[in-house]
Amino acid sequence: MDTPADLGPLGILEALLFVSESPLSLERIEELLDGCSRAEVRRLLVDLQEKYGQPERGMLLSEVAGGYRLMTKPEAAPWVQRLRGSKPTRLSRAALETLALIAYKQPITKPEIEAIRGVMVDGVLKTLVERDLVRILGRKPEVGRPILYGTSRSFLEYFGFKDLSELPTLKEIEALAPNAAGKEASDEPVAQSEKAE
């Protein structure tokens, strides 16, 4: 690929990461920067991470969901929100609890989630699927063939994980909140339903 003399591979990579709507994998970057080897692409990514790692920079290069993405630093959030004119959408406690169950026990069915949580989760699951945090993986081969749910690539992006191995372990969670580890999520009967938001 012919590049202008003043714009090298690092500048091109920076532009690609800036305009990409989803994380770019190493393979995709290598395709786009034809002529650059995998080792060169990794070196360019390290260079960019160092560049954006400076304290005065408002962005950072993050490895999420199996790829790389430019993101604003958390410290810049108040100004970004002011520009957008809105607050970030938050997940309800019910949605977070359901999402955690799916993340740790996937593939999992709605009846299995309801048995653990003790409440119906129809609305919560609908919201999580609509927000693309949860996806349908297929059907369980048993009576009624219930739908199997699992987390999506958007889930990894939303929480900033490279992959599911970065989820905290139960021991790490217990260390953070020792009193919460043994508690039930809810004492409500299964017949009761929850609002998604």
The whole-number pLDDT of residue 190 equals 38
pLDDT digits (tens, 9 = 90+) for 182-196: 444 444 343 344 444
Domain 93-176: top CATH class = mainly alpha
What interhelical angle do 93-105 and 110-117 show, nearest 10?
120
CATH fold match for the domains 9-84 and 93-176:
yes
Name the band, by pLDDT with cuts 50, 70 and 90, for residue 140.
very high
The whole-number pLDDT of residue 180 equals 53
The whole-number pLDDT of residue 191 equals 39
| 108-140 b/e (C-beta count within 10 Å ≥ 16 → b) | bbbebbbebbebbbebbbebbeebebbbeeeeb
**Which pTM does this prediction carry?**
0.61
Q: Is it the case that residue 53 has pLDDT exceeding 90? A: no
Range 9-84 classified under CATH 1.10.10.10: yes
Domain boundaries, the chain: 9-84, 93-176
Name the band, by pLDDT with cuts 50, 70 and 90, for residue 170.
confident
